[in-house]
Amino acid sequence: MAENSGSTNIMSELSAVIRTWEDENGNPNYDPVPTLTKLAEIVEVETENYLKMDPDPFDERHPSRTDPSCNLGQILKALFRKDNFTNKLINDYMRDSYYTRLGISGRDVDQLNIAACRLMLDIMPGLDTTVVFQPEADSLIHRLIKWVTNSIEPLQSYATGLLGAAMEIPEIATRFRELNSKLIPLLLQRLRRLKNSSEFASASTSFSRPFAHFSTLRSPPYRTDTVMKSPPPIVRENGVPSVDGAETPSKSGDSEHVPKDQLSERGVKRKLSLENETSPNTTDLMPTVDFRRKRNKLDENHSSVFLGSVSPQKGTLSEASNSSWAELETFVIATRQILILRYLTAMGDYQEFLSHVFEHNALELILCYVNVRVTREARLAFEALKYLAALLCHKKFSIEFIQLYWKYLDPL
């Protein structure tokens, strides 16, 4: 009874937020950031509750199929029925020229893009990425690459997670091969810096048996379940603060005209095959987005291991008002590493990028992450193992792994 009451309250809260947006978004001075942030927090709390049920990380079904009574599935279904909102989120709020095009000054477009990317990353388990990132619509991909290369946090990390989902589509990965060849070494370097700044980096430098302890863990630690909220953003260049500590101005507000029809009329499909109805067009100014079933393959952003911006184990950071940034920084660093690993995993199958893997010693990073006894980060280890699995399809990498690290695979 209590669960039904809680579910009703959550759905009522979601409906109220969407209804407020529908009433106010047409106002010239409307600020969408609070609405996007509130929706993200709702999804993140229910994502955490879903993860506590310990779902199979390789089960790509919609949460409502795994557990029809879970709030997360109901929230995603309800949210995807709001075509006007989802169109606005993808077509407008994720543009770095949104305020410029409306002639609005004095607004920080970075904060809008952060809120939009955060919510997008939260709802990715229910989206068909092949429709969100359509091969003929390159503007969003170029924008994500720009944010990944040089933007403030957490926009940089959110963009990395979204770009990793986009690169799961072979057509997009192939068309952006040249840019990916530049991003992979950049992100491997960034990953190593983040690993070195993690609290487990100095705990142990000996990885004698990185695979031996998986059978001894009773339950996965959920230390990385965190909302990536941060204090006033520090402007970074290529993911690293400036040497002299000075802040570098962000360029993400540059005007960029993107066609309104970047999504086709068939729109973004709902993940749920159990709902076959198509939402009617609700606006003449924007293409209608129809959400249905997502692709039948392993989704890097599957909700069972999703860490883009989910809440911590004991609630969102907004509730943990006694927590200092120093205490929360470890969680954010772990989440950033997970999002980078997801992008690298999407690129792991491609032979032309293998040289970067050897040059930047990606195997050493992987073996560090899978040593859960030291890192205490089970989800980080899971993403690292998926990256390892992607790389093992290359004969050269497999031979090196077997020759140098066969002893780690010995039985207990």
Q: What is the pLDDT of residues 187-211, one digit of tens each?
A: 999 999 999 988 776 554 444 445 4
In terms of Cβ atoms closer than 10 Å to its own Cβ (0-12, 13-18, 19+), residue 107 is: middle
Compute the C-alpha angle 191/195/196, nearest 5°. 120
Which amino acid is located at 81 in the chain? R
The model scores a pTM over 0.75:
no
Is 60 exceeded by the pLDDT of residue 287? no
- Residue given tokens 């979204």 in the structure block: 162
Q: Report which of 319, 341, 335 is spatially closest to residue 389, judged by C-alpha positions.
A: 341
pLDDT at 326 exceeding the cut of 60: no
Contact between 99 and 109 (Cβ < 8 Å): yes
Q: For 76-80, 100-104, 225-229, which range has the lowest pLDDT when averaged over its residues?
A: 225-229
Contact 268, 291 (CB under 8 A): yes
Res. 226: pLDDT tops 60: no
Q: Judge whether 288 and 319 are in contact, CB under 8 Å.
A: no
Chain mean pLDDT for the chain: 74
User: In this structure, what token pair is assigned to residue 355?
Assistant: 């040289």
Tokens of 153: 């946090």
What percent of the chain lies above the pLDDT cut of 90?
44
* pLDDT tens column, 233-264: 444 444 444 434 444 444 444 444 444 444 44
Token readout for 67 is: 């557990």
Give the pLDDT score at 12. Answer: 92
pLDDT at residue 329 tops 90: no
- DSSP bridge partners of 237: 240
User: Please, which pLDDT band fits residue 278 given cuts at 50, 70 and 90?
Assistant: very low
pLDDT at 407: 63
